[in-house]
Amino acid sequence: MKILFITGNPNKLKEAKEIMSEIEGCEIDLQEIQELDTKKIIEEKLNEAIKQKPRTELIVEDQSLTIDGMNGLPGPLIKWFIKDLGVDGLYKLALKMGNQKVLAKTTIGYCDNVGSTHFFEATIKGKIVSPRGDDGWDWDLIFQPEGYNKTFAEMTMEQKNELSMRKMALEKLKEYLKK
């Protein structure tokens, strides 16, 4: 069984393939609505992807990072916060807000070959720290999972995949597909 993972991010694809070998990457430039509800973002992405790849099993993903001190922001808007502020700027903003606790979430939308859509979510708690590490991208440099003294960017791919929310969401998808 082949499942197309619609992503232009080679890092996400590499991580996903290590967890689910049947995933194949497919780069389609999808419009991404600006919305705080991750499921709405995923639905829009899937609807657009289905138009280009009908009758195909597809997955799309969205990640969010909610900072307690920022009343849930940036959430799924994390990409734009990082683009405008950088990871150091986001760290400094979290410091100024007085609460560095965060919740990282991955939401995967799966569409089977007849158009039925299902969602799989996973979260991991952590905190925003000063940028550290060389083995990550985006907010991996400032996300330190709860109970660990390393950021995602300081971990090996294997260490990160053992506890990442992407892995947990993909594991839920794998269980669903077994049924």
Angle of helix 165-178 relative to helix 10-19, nearest 10 degrees, comes to 50
Q: pLDDT at residue 136 above 80?
A: no
pLDDT tier, 24 (very low <50, low <70, confident <90, very high otherwise): very high
Q: Which two tokens stand for residue 178?
A: 């077994």
How far apart, in whole angstroms, are the C-alpha atoms of residue 63 and residue 53?
23
Does 54 sit behind a cis peptide bond, omega within 30 degrees of 0 on the bond before it? no
* 22-26, 37-41, 156-160: the lowest-pLDDT one: 156-160
> What value does the mean pLDDT of the chain take?
92
How far apart, in whole angstroms, are the C-alpha atoms of residue 11 and residue 72?
26
Q: What is the CATH number of the domain that holds 93?
A: 3.90.950.10
Q: pLDDT at residue 86 above 90?
A: yes
Number of domains in the chain: 1
Q: Is the pTM for the entire model greater than 0.75?
A: yes
* Residue 123: domain span: 3-178
Q: Which residue has the higher pLDDT, 157 or 51?
A: 51
Determine contact, residues 60/106, Cβ cutoff 8 Å.
no
